[in-house]
Amino acid sequence: MPALRTLISAEQIGERVREMGEQIDADYPEGPLYLISILKGSFVFLADLIRTLKRHTVRVEFMGISSYGSAKTSSGQVKVTRDLDLSIEGQHVLIVEDIVDSGVTLSYLTRVLAQRRPRSLEIATLLDKPERRVQPVDVKYVGFEIPDEFVVGYGLDYAEDFRNLSAICILGE
Ligand code: IMP
Ligand code: MG
């Protein structure tokens, strides 16, 4: 059995996600806001985040991104495996991510999406590991900064397991 140590409890996550939702509601004008969830890790965060928003014009879209190589680090080679099926031109777009690690995935994705001329393009991530950054990314909403540890739960996986944990846990040996 792998060792799991709770880093952020379900209660702490709930409270922080509510604060992030309030901030997002306050920052965006009335009208459509497109949340683009990056599969698969961000689906739990997305599901909780949208329910904290008061507006009735939140739209949800999904994108698949793969960075080659599995295990605990991304290799630096990124590609879109599932694209949006609508235009985001002229729209307010908020990318919803589970975690920013090296920054390789998001710096690639923001370049791809910016070319489609959204009205605005920002990033909301539940977790950020700033020590690991290799490529700079401008993240507007960060839930928690965490140390350089591999974490699972609340949507995040290790080899597809552990996504169902309600807390964020450090995965030991
Ligand atoms: P980046 O391109 O290195 O920033 O990697 C981002 C992606 O790597 C995230 O969307 C996750 O899928 C994965 N990742 C990075 N760190 C962790 C972690 O600690 N646990 C689970 N997945 C992680
Ligand atoms: Mg991810």
DSSP 146: -
Nearest atom, ligand 1, residue 42 CA: 10
Whole-number Å distance between alpha carbons of 75 and 90: 33
Contacts of residue 161, Cβ cutoff 8 Å, sequence gap at least 6: 152
Report the candidate in 41, 19, 47 with the shortest Cα–Cα distance to residue 141: 19
Ligand 1 interacting residues, C-beta cut-off 6 A:
41, 67, 74, 97-105, 150-152, 156
Q: pTM of the full predicted structure?
A: 0.95
Q: For residue 151, give the 3-state DSSP assignment.
A: strand
Residues in the chain: 173
Model confidence pLDDT, tens digit, residues 84-141: 999 999 999 999 999 999 999 999 999 999 999 999 999 999 999 999 999 999 999 9
Cα of 36 from ligand 2 centre, angstroms? 12
Nearest atom, ligand 1, residue 98 CA: 10
Report the candidate in 17, 43, 30 with the shortest Cα–Cα distance to residue 141: 17
Model confidence pLDDT, tens digit, residues 103-119: 999 999 999 999 999 99
Whole-number Å distance between alpha carbons of 5 and 171: 7
